[in-house]
Amino acid sequence: MGQGRRKDFGEFTAKLEKHIEKLPDYAQRAQEKLQRYIPPSEQGSSPRPAQPSRPRPPMPQMPPMPKISQQLTSMASGQIPVVAEAKAKWARWNEPAAKLERQKRRTSRALTFWILLTILCGLYAFVAGAGLLKAGEVEVLQAIAGGAFAVIFGTFGVKSGLRLRTLKRTVLPAAPAAPPPLPPARSVAREPMERLAESEASLTELLRQLSQPTSLGTMPVSEIAVADARTTAAEAAQALRGLAGRIQAIERGRDAAPERERGALDAAIKQLREQLDDGLDGYGGLVAAAGHTVAASSDGMTSSKESLSDATDKLAGLAMALRELS
């Protein structure tokens, strides 16, 4: 149930973010429809005779549409405060450290509860058993029942104590690094960065399989080759994100520049986008080489192993060139 709720919440937030990103488009469409019904001020009309009329109260001035569009754009580039706060609370609730602390608190409360019940039942059995020489069958049964309940609750208390001890000794694994944020939807770097994220996930899984021995007990490739490919891929991804950041900076400058200067900036953005696509093609070549190596690892072929090393070397040179550009 918990996983289903978490999935539903993730799908809801993803749909909400998509609609938020489209708010500037909605504002632009509303402005175009509004201009159809409001005639321009320059349009001439036949003068009408002035008629006395009561003065009308001044109409409240609406903010200009460009300002509204800017507000919606700023809202789309970030997040609605309520949604951001809800997502932050949900993320803090699902953190492994927070879950462990909740388990410790629940186990500690259960331990206290069982200890109190054990003490009360033990006292009851002692008081009932203190007068066994003068008591009848009822007092004897009460003493036996109190002792039995004390043993049962004591057992539960011991289990809770052992569980609490285990929880206190639990060492949480290092939290995985959060994925870097994607560029805005209107940026030309958005689609390449989405491709890069998918390629990174695929390469991580392929390299994990290459790090495990095959059914024959042999390693598909050496650990040095896998580590070299992993390091080169990380450096190339960092260089590609640096190039994407440069594209976003130029896009922001283009939006604020005069109209006559935007052509040159568009040409620069187009050139950097081509370089970004070339870098992604090189990254995809390493992913393909790793896939061929995994496929051929059971047959003992060496050609795919050599192609992995060649792809790693090519990507290393490409990453060096991209770092110089970014």
Q: Is residue 203 part of a domain?
A: yes
Boundary residue ending a domain (118, 140, 169) = 169
Other beta carbons within 10 angstroms of residue 39's beta carbon come to 9
Q: Alpha-carbon distance 79 to 181, whole Å?
A: 13
288 and 163 in a common domain: no
74 Cβ neighbours under 8 A, 6+ residues apart: none
Same-domain status, 312 and 263: yes
Q: Distance (Å, rounded) from C-alpha 139 to C-alpha 132?
A: 7
Range of the domain at 132: 104-169
What are the pLDDT digits (tens) for 236-286?
899 999 999 999 999 999 988 888 888 999 999 999 999 999 989 989 888
Give the model's pLDDT for residue 67: 45
Q: Could you tell me if 132 and 143 are in contact, meaning their C-beta atoms sit under 8 angstroms apart?
A: yes
CA distances from 152 to 122, 129, 164, 165 (A): 11, 18, 19, 20
In a domain? residue 49: no
Q: Both 216 and 282 in a single domain?
A: yes
What is the radius of gyration, based on Cα positions, of the chain? 35
Q: Is 210 a domain residue?
A: yes
pTM score of the predicted model: 0.49
Residue type, 278: D
The reply to whether 213 and 136 lie within a common domain is no
Are 200 and 307 within one domain? Answer: yes
On whether residue 122 sits in a domain, the answer given is: yes
**Could you tell me if 287 and 317 lie in one domain?**
yes
Last residue of a domain, one of 138, 169, 200: 169
Q: Which of the pair, 175 or 221, is modelled with greater confidence?
A: 221
Say what angle helices 2-21 and 65-77 make with each other, to 10 degrees.
150
Query: Do 209 and 317 belong together in one domain?
Result: yes
Quote the number of domains for the chain: 3
pLDDT in tens, 98-150: 888 999 999 999 999 999 999 998 888 888 777 654 556 666 777 788 888 98
Question: 226: closest CA among 319, 304, 313, 290?
Answer: 290
Asked whether residue 234 falls in the same domain as residue 297, the answer is yes
Dihedrals phi, psi of 184, to nearest 5 degrees: -60, 160
Tens of pLDDT, residue by residue over 297-320, are 655 555 555 667 777 777 777 677
Q: Does 37 map to a domain? A: no
How many CA atoms does the CB half-sphere of 302 hold within 13 Å?
A: 0
- Claim to verify: residue 263 and residue 317 sit in the same structural domain: yes
Residues 126 and 79 in one domain: no
Same domain, 312 and 202: yes
| Mean pLDDT calculated for residue range 214-221 | 64
User: Per-residue confidence at 51, pLDDT binned at 50, 70, 90?
Assistant: very low
* pLDDT at res. 250: 93
Asked if pLDDT for residue 58 goes beyond 80, the answer is no
| 302 and 275 assigned to the same domain | yes
Q: Is 174 part of any domain?
A: no
Residue 1 lies in a domain: no
Tell me whether residue 135 is in a domain.
yes
